[in-house]
Structure 1
Amino acid sequence: MDVRRKFLAAAGRLIMDIVQSEWEPLSHWELDQRLDRAVEEMLEADLLSSVFMQVSQQDDSMHLTQDQMQTVTLQLSEPVSEQDPCVTDVIEGNPAVQCVTSLLQSADTNYNKNRLSGRARLTLSHTVLLSLTLLSKRISYRSVSSSFHLEKGNIHRIFFSFCERVNALQDKFIQWPTGQKALQHLLPFSSWLSRNEGLEERGLPQVFGVLGDTCIPIRLPTGKQDCECDAPEAKRIKDEPYPDSWLNLELVCNAEGRFIYCHISRGSERTRGSALVERLQQHPEMLPPGTCLIARVGYPLTGQMLTPFSPGRSPQENLYNRSVATHLGRFDQAVADLKERFQKLRYLDIGNYDRARAVVLTACILNNVFLDMGDITKGLVERNTLENEEEVKDNAAGVTMRDTVVKLLYSALEAETH
């Protein structure tokens, strides 16, 4: 009898789970998507029915072939925005739209160069304009639907199709420079040393690039949000966001503020610089002799990557920290410019990590594209809150390298003052 009761209880729980999964309410995002799709299908069906009825009334003997029916369907699904003179004028007067359109057209010869995927068929130039509008401003899909005469669900699909296409250009536009290109944008370790001939030959390394990171806030997946809401108040730490409520965007920028390295991970996967450090250890030739990377406190201190003292405890260390701070400020400005150019990165209302990552990578790639065009955008540098972090590693080669640079800097200063 006990075995039978346990069996019946297990069967009951299984049935309840099935019923719950079938009747569980959809999230707002999923509901909007399904409603948009249903409305589109209903409108198309009504329009097709209307056209076929008109044709049959004009000539009962006329019968549309399958090709004719397909042509009518495509014409009905064509949005008004493609004939909108205002939108067309924006495209023709926007070098960024024209540049990105040209890149996507030439990127893949096997791809239909006039269209991107989506129920409504936008021309490539209109798709680029729509996607850049969404990236550059903090606006929703619904707010641009009226301009392009598209349902919100269509805009969602077209935008992520665009991001996938741009992501395919990563290796072309986010490149680690090698050979002669690696020597074109080196910077002196200290800006005031560059005004003194011969001092930089004392053994001070030149700066190849600056490594740093920034957080991109994202919307938590539905399951994570539910867990947060159900958690007791005492267990919620309001001062610290949920570990996966953001993406870590790790970048290396050169002297021009161009990104030469990009690594994106979840908030809970925060291992600062470890992927790049391992790569440099395996391929030390990535950095030319006599060069180094600069990173802020919290990154590994190695023979190829120098970090500040936290804090400086002597005039020599403070002098070194001031030189390093100049380069870190260059990185902070590059990130501020990125977020100013693509304001969607200030908060991604996306609960899917892969899609959120695709949007962030798209912004980084296009940032380099626009810099190559000479399109400069300046943003307001945010206050950095990571300066009090402890060094994560005590690498012997890094300690030796940093101590050597400290001594060389201070001796150069003494030679300058005497």
Structure 2
Amino acid sequence: MENFETTSSDSSDQEVRSIRRKKVYRKRVDLQKYDDIDFFDRFRLKKETVLHLLQEIEDAIKMPTNRGGCITPIQQLLLTLRFYATGNMLITVADFMGVSEASASRIVKRVSRAIASRSQKYIKMPETEAEMEEIAENFYKIASFPRVIGAIDCTLIRIDSPGGNDAEIFRCRKSFFALNVQTVSDAKLKIRNIVCRWPGSVHDQTIFNNSLLKYNFENNAFGSYILIGDSGYALKKYLMTKLQQPRTPAENLYNESIIRTRNTVERQYGVWKRRFPVLKFGMRLQLDTIRLIIVATAVLHNIAIDMNDIFTIENFEEEELEDNPQLFANAVNGEYVRNLLISQHFARL
């Protein structure tokens, strides 16, 4: 049997590896440390909004025991909001909060899941006639476009390559890896519907075709109310798009109105991504966690609007260029509804 000698350097390395790292309890951020302005600058939400949210998710994120320097629910929430607000690597927010990078990773996922679980409460299409009428009235005030209950579009959320054989399907037309996220915005910039499970290479129309939202419109769940979208979507009786070659004053007025009205979804993307830059700069996380974060920030966006937690942007750039308008043929019934709108409404304005 062959003998192997153990050198002094080998034994020294083994000894170093066997020494357990001493646990360090670092100083953690206190909610009272910042005044209202400094707090908003760092976490992108007002203290009242954060405390309101904490009441809703505290039971879901609190630790089972207080032993071993337990991280409190408010500290977990602040760490997660800081990650959303900076878009930095986890080690940066871990240092900011005085925890390890591993703890920060677990906390971001746990808190994001807890917030995302509130999506059915805060992200929903109108369900009653009164709700739909109110939303339609708010849209009408923008540019006199009637019966609109939502502006639909998609935006790209940058991610790292997920790896594997299917990684390239996440590469979008702008040549980076992304998820293509569909949302519907109302006139107050609230997110009324969200779909965030599709790779960046998938077309907007494909996402809509496979959504519950289309199923509901096809089955007349919203009556005579409609969506408005860009020219990448197929014209339907419940989804209006602009005319490619307007010829009459009424048609020009229709186009101007739909462009100004649909602008709400672009503004929604601007506010959403500016408030939570992690959506703009990208995430180096697992896909499941990224999807949780996208939905969680959408929930926070709506909660902030409900609580008048205003986040303004002076200038915003349109998130996406319109897709090829010739990609989809217009549906006959969609053309009929659009022509009816032009002749009976915009021709009389």
For the superposition of Structure 1 and Structure 2, which TM-score range results when normalised by the shorter chain? 0.7 to 0.9
Residue 151 in structure 1 maps to residue 100 in structure 2: yes
Partner of 1:365: 299
Q: Distance in 1 between matches of 2:75 and 2:272?
A: 23
CA contact (8 A) 1:210 1:331 kept: yes
CA shift at 1:187, angstroms? Answer: 3.1
Structure 1 counterpart of 2:131, one-letter code: K
Which string of whole-angstrom CA distances, capped at 9 and with x for unpartnered residues, describes residues 71-121 of structure 1?
xxxxx7x65316797379959x8223212211213xx5xx4646799x973
What does the per-residue CA deviation read over 1:196-219, in whole Å, with 9 as the maximum and x for residues that have no partner? xxxxxxxx8421111111111111
**TM-score, length basis structure 2:** 0.79
Partner of 1:343: 277
Query: What TM-score do you get using the length of structure 1 for normalisation?
Result: 0.67
From 381, 395, 400, give the equivalent of 2:316.
381
Letter in 2 for 1:135: Y
Aligned length: 316
Within the alignment, does 1:273 sit opposite 2:218 as a pair?
Answer: no
1:262 matched to 2:212? The reply is no
What is the aligned counterpart of 1:42 among 20, 36, 57? 20
The residue identity in structure 2 corresponding to 1:42 is R
CA displacement at 1:254 relative to structure 2: 1.2
1:351: Cα distance to partner?
4.9
SS of aligned partner of 2:148? strand
Alignment of 1:68-83 (within 5 A): 79-81=26-28
Aligned position for 1:403? 339
Question: Quick check: 2:139–2:187 contact (8 Å CA) kept in 1?
Answer: no
What is the Cα deviation at residue 281 of structure 1? 1.1
Task: For 1:299, give the aligned amino acid.
Answer: Y
Gaps of 5+ in 2: 1-16
Match of 1:128 among 60, 77, 82: 77
Q: Distance in 2 between matches of 1:88 and 1:124?
A: 20
CA distance in 1, matches of 2:233, 2:241: 7
Which range moved further: 334-343 or 390-399?
390-399
- Contact 1:251–1:260 under 8 Å retained in 2: yes
Q: Specify whether residues 411 and 311 from structure 1 end up closer, same or farther in structure 2 by C-alpha distance, changes over 3 A only.
A: closer
Secondary structure of 1:375 counterpart = coil
Q: Distance in 1 between matches of 2:235 and 2:286?
A: 34
Partner of 2:150: 209
Identity of counterpart residues, as a percentage?
Answer: 20
Q: Secondary structure at the match of 1:376?
A: coil
Unaligned runs of 5+ in 1: 1-38, 48-75, 195-203, 229-236, 414-418
Deviation per CA, 1:299-349, whole angstroms, max 9, x where unpaired? 121111111122434443322110100111111111100011111100222
Aligned equivalent of 1:94: 47
CA deviation after TM superposition for structure 1 residue 191, in Å: 4.9
Q: Which has the higher helix share?
A: 1
Find the aligned partners of 2:31 and 2:249 in 1 and give their Cα distance: 65
Instruction: Report whether the alignment pairs 1:246 with 2:178.
Output: yes
1:240-267 CA distance string (max 9 Å, x none): 415xx11111111112111111111222
| 1:115–1:124 contact (8 Å) kept in structure 2 | no
Q: Is the 8 A contact 1:82 1:123 kept in 2?
A: no
Partners of 2:302 and 2:31 in 1: CA distance: 30
**Matched residue SS, 1:216:** strand
In 2, the alpha carbon distance for the partners of 1:364 and 1:99 equals 16
Amino acid at match of 2:92: S
Aligned pairs for 1:13-28 within 5 A: none
* Shift of residue 178, structure 1, vs aligned partner: 1.2
Instruction: Give the distance between the partners of 2:189 and 2:239, measured in 1 at CA.
Output: 18
CA shift, 1:182, in A, is: 2.5
Counterpart of 2:126? 177
Counterpart pick for 2:162 among 199, 207, 221: 221
Asked which structure has the greater RCO (Cα within 8 Å, sep 6+), the reply is: 2
Question: For residue 394 of structure 1, what is the aligned residue in structure 2?
Answer: 330
Alpha-carbon contact 1:120-1:150 (below 8 Å) kept = no
> Using the alignment, how far apart are the partners of 1:227 and 1:411 within structure 2?
48
Change over 3 Å in CA distance of 1:42–1:149 after alignment to 2? farther
| Residue in structure 2 matched with residue 326 of structure 1 by the alignment | 260
- The structure number with the bigger radius of gyration is 1
Residue-by-residue CA offset, 1:215-249 (whole Å, 9 max, x unaligned): 11111124479989xxxxxxxx997415xx11111
The aligned counterpart of 2:137 is: 187
- Residues 345-378 of structure 1: CA distance to partner in whole angstroms, max 9, x if unpaired? 0022225322211111111111001111101112
Residue 161 of structure 1 and its aligned partner are, at CA, apart by 0.9
Equivalent position to 2:117, from 147, 168, 172 = 168
For residues 128-170 of structure 1, the C-alpha deviation after alignment (integer angstroms, 9 at most, x for no partner) is 1111111012322222222221111211111111111111111
- Could you tell me whether the CA contact under 8 Å between 1:81 and 1:87 is conserved in 2? no
- Deviation sequence 1:46-73 (CA, Å, 0-9, x none): 45xxxxxxxxxxxxxxxxxxxxxxxxxx
